[in-house]
Chain A
Amino acid sequence: MLKAESMHENTSESDLIAAGREGDRSAFEELFRRNQRRVYSVAFNFFGGDRQLAEDISQQVFLKLYVGIAKFRGDAQVSTWLYRVTVNQCIDEQKKRNRFSFFGDIFEREDSEVVEIDDSTEERLEISESVKKAVAELKPIFRAPLVLKHVEGLSYSEMAQVLDISEGTVASRLSRGHKMLAESLRHLQVSGNQ
């Protein structure tokens, strides 16, 4: 259970970082509280709604923040840094999964058991599940800007900063990602009926 909300609710980000550098666990907890949803959401959508994986990645990201906070220069917002670390962590995880892809069936079965359809929101979830799966099949370089844009609402300049690419490259990857997504979902719909 989070306890830091009342203690550091009004503390600025730079003060939290300074306190975190001194080993103040409650300051770090507040940084976690302010950013957990961002990190978790990106990982969750990067991997097609895999909750367990999203949680594992989030834990790794915050561990990196904790270890690296002493070196955090403060020339960008923590959220920007976290987005970058999260995307990199997701890409690393994707590489691992590709390496062990011959166990693919086993992982897929485990993943599918995680999805629970609630009758009251079934219709929304159906679309959302199809899109999530299609997004998770895109190459990571197209998947990352798509998730940052549509899940986190980042602007082109913010995405460029997070992904360390130009705004023109962001636009180009987004447009290709969008087209591939439309095509990929069309394919899924057709195969689903066969």
Chain B
Amino acid sequence: MTQHITDKIPHFLDRELSDEERSVVGEHLINCAVCRTEHDEQKAGRELAGSLERTDAPPSMWAAVESKLDEARESGARSRRLRLLKPALAFGIALMAMLVAVPIYIYLTSAGPETVSVQNSGQEPRPSSWRLLETRGNPQVTKLGEDKNLEIGGVLETDAASSARISVAEIGRVDIAPNSKVRIVNTSAEEHRMALDRGVLKAVIVAPPRLFIVDTPSAQAVDLGCAYTLEVDDDGNSKLHVTSGYVALETEGLESFVPAGAFCESKKGGKLGTPFFGDATADLKKALAEFDFSEGGPDTVDTIISESRRKDTLTLWHLLEKVPVQKRSLIIARILRELDLPEGVTVEGLLGLNETMMMSLRSDLEVLWYEQPGWFDEN
């Protein structure tokens, strides 16, 4: 029986293994459900932690440090005098602490039960499937039942001065921005579905994949465990921006897999765009828009390939099934500059768009899509 490799999973996720070790672990993960579950759990936490970021110190901090340095120098000069006063000072501080702390403690302990009973008296009702949690301004709502529960078929419409927040069962919440219109389409153990007819919504969902779905006039956004913003313009075109996890943007028969940091558009009439990272070059984005929506020719594909960075393999992977075979080989060559083909994946298979090989390649590429810029820089 093969031994589990759970101790290798953090190294695998953090790319701290040699190529040889990586492929051993990768192969094991494909075949071992236990290690795969462990991998997925760690990966979820790692993705969440990815939203932590460096923060600049306030400009005033040096002045504060400098002042502390001056104080330290002065206190050094005073230390001899202070040492003589220390016992008296300590006694005074202890006495003051008692005088302050005892009444506060008595107040808090006596007020405790009363506080608890006040909180309990306003006990919230159990969460409903689509409960209106908060509103700003006066959004128009139809089919609002008891406990502020939006029923199926209910419509919530905000104007320029209103917005709303809705809970989605126990799996997350959706914020509806001003000038937006949403409808509740369905709710069941298998799916919670709403429609965004126009405007902007922001969803934060923690749930198994495909449990939360948003229909738009041009596509449907299928949650794969994530947070995202979805925008629908007056013509029914959609724009998705994923901020955490993954979302699948789908039209009939087509699917774009959109990870955190990436965008994807769809046009009314069923045209589904190719996902791209928000920090891709302007030339790449322009060429991609031409390719997706203006029937751009082969030159646009060449531009996309030449402008692509390591993580733009997201865009390249999706383009594989949209371009003629000649361009497909150029894209594969570009991807091969970033990683070796996974075990069992061949160039021929990719040229033929073998589904298993495509998914295996995507699985390996995902690691590149989550690398953070500057992580390994010295400064």
Contact = CB atoms under 8 A, between A and B. Distances in A.
B108 A171 contact: no
Contacts of B269: none
| Interface band, chain B | 35 or more
A7 interface: no
Given A2-B62, A44-B55, A182-B45, A123 B229 contact: yes
Interface in B141-197: 167-173
Nearest to B44: A182
B46 interface: yes
A132 B53 CA distance: 10
Nearest to B377: A153
Contacts of B133: 193
Contacts of A41: 53-55, 57
Interface string A138-154: 00000000110111110
B204 A182 contact: no
Contacts of A127: 51, 204, 227, 243-244
A135 B49 contact: yes
Contacts of A147: 52
B108 A102 contact: yes
A16 to B, nearest CB: 15
A40 B173 contact: no
Q: Which residue among B46, B52, B379 has the maximum number of chain A CB atoms within 10 Å of its CB?
A: B52
Nearest to B63: A1
Interface string B3-39: 0001101110010100000000000000000000000
B57 A40 contact: yes
A168 B8 CA distance: 10
A55 B57 contact: yes
Main secondary structure of the interface of A (DSSP, over half): helix
B206 A1 contact: no
Nearest to B70: A25
Contacts, number: 166
B53 A63 contact: no
Interface in B82-128: 105, 108, 124, 126-127
Contact of A63 (B56, B65, B126, B169): B65
Q: Which residue among A2, A123, A153 has the maximum number of chain B CB atoms within 10 Å of its CB?
A: A123
Contacts of B55: 37, 40-41, 44-45, 54
A194 interface: yes
B14 A179 contact: no
A156 interface: yes
Contact of B48 (A45, A131, A155, A193): A131
Contacts of A183: 45
Given A1-B62, A151-B52, A178 B45 contact: yes
Interface stretch (A88-96, A108-116, A184-192): A184-192
A39 B43 CA distance: 27
A174 interface: yes
A181 B16 contact: no
B1 interface: no
B45 A177 contact: yes
Contacts of B169: 193
Contacts of B126: 194
B295 to A, nearest CB: 32
A72 interface: no
B253 interface: no
Interface stretch (B211-219, B306-314, B368-376): B368-376
Given A146-B49, A175-B9, A151 B62 contact: no
A55 B61 contact: yes
A66 interface: yes
Contact of A193 (B6, B49, B167, B377): B167
8 contacts: A25-B66, A36-B62, A54-B57, A59-B61, A66-B72, A124-B51, A156-B11, A190-B206
> Closest 5 interchain pairs by CB?
A178-B45, A153-B375, A40-B57, A182-B45, A193-B167
Given A1-B63, A40-B57, A59-B64, 9 more contacts: A58-B65, A66-B69, A124-B51, A130-B204, A152-B54, A178-B45, A180-B45, A183-B45, A186-B206
